[in-house]
Amino acid sequence: MSEAEGPETGGPETGGPETGGREAEGQLSDAELQERLEQELKRLKVSDVLLQSCYTISSLGYGKMAAPPEERDLEQARLAIEALRALTPLLEGTLPAELTRDLSQVTANMQLAYAKAVSEQGGEPKPDGDG
């Protein structure tokens, strides 16, 4: 029997628990996976989640403005800007200053892009701070 023919040799056909009672290398049991997840959650900070959320929000907001004019969703872009304006000050002091500075710059750039997109549609931007 060659290595490729059976689970006893650990060849490519070694499967999960149903083949010889062994799990494939790199596969975790449910309990091990849950333990790892719990450990990761213990290390995770709210500020890390908020920062990642800011990156996601900015990407979505830019995408809503960069779409072809007939597909643009400027209301969603404005919401993204307002969300960044609300979250950035909360992160000051919990993240390195250069990160909050970068978030402020992203927000400012989005506001400029929003104003340009609105003017291209022949409208007027909504005032900042109006929800």
Q: pLDDT for 2-45, tens place per residue? A: 444 444 444 444 444 554 444 555 688 999 999 999 999 999 99
Q: Three-class SS of residue 12?
A: coil
The verdict on residue 71 lying in a domain is yes
Contact (CB, 8 A) for 11 and 25: no
Q: Which three-class secondary structure state does DSSP give residue 92?
A: strand
Phi, psi of 92 (to 5 degrees): -60, 130
Q: What DSSP element (H or E) covers 74?
A: helix 74-91
- The answer to whether residue 20 sits within a structural domain is no
Q: What is the pLDDT of residues 66-99, one digit of tens each?
A: 999 889 999 999 999 999 999 999 999 999 999 9
**For the chain, how many structural domains are there in total?**
1
- Nearest 10 degrees: Cα torsion 69, 87, 41, 97: 110
Q: Is residue 36 part of a domain?
A: no
In a domain, 55, yes or no: yes
Rounded to whole angstroms, how far apart are CA atoms 45 and 95? 11
Q: Does some domain include residue 17?
A: no
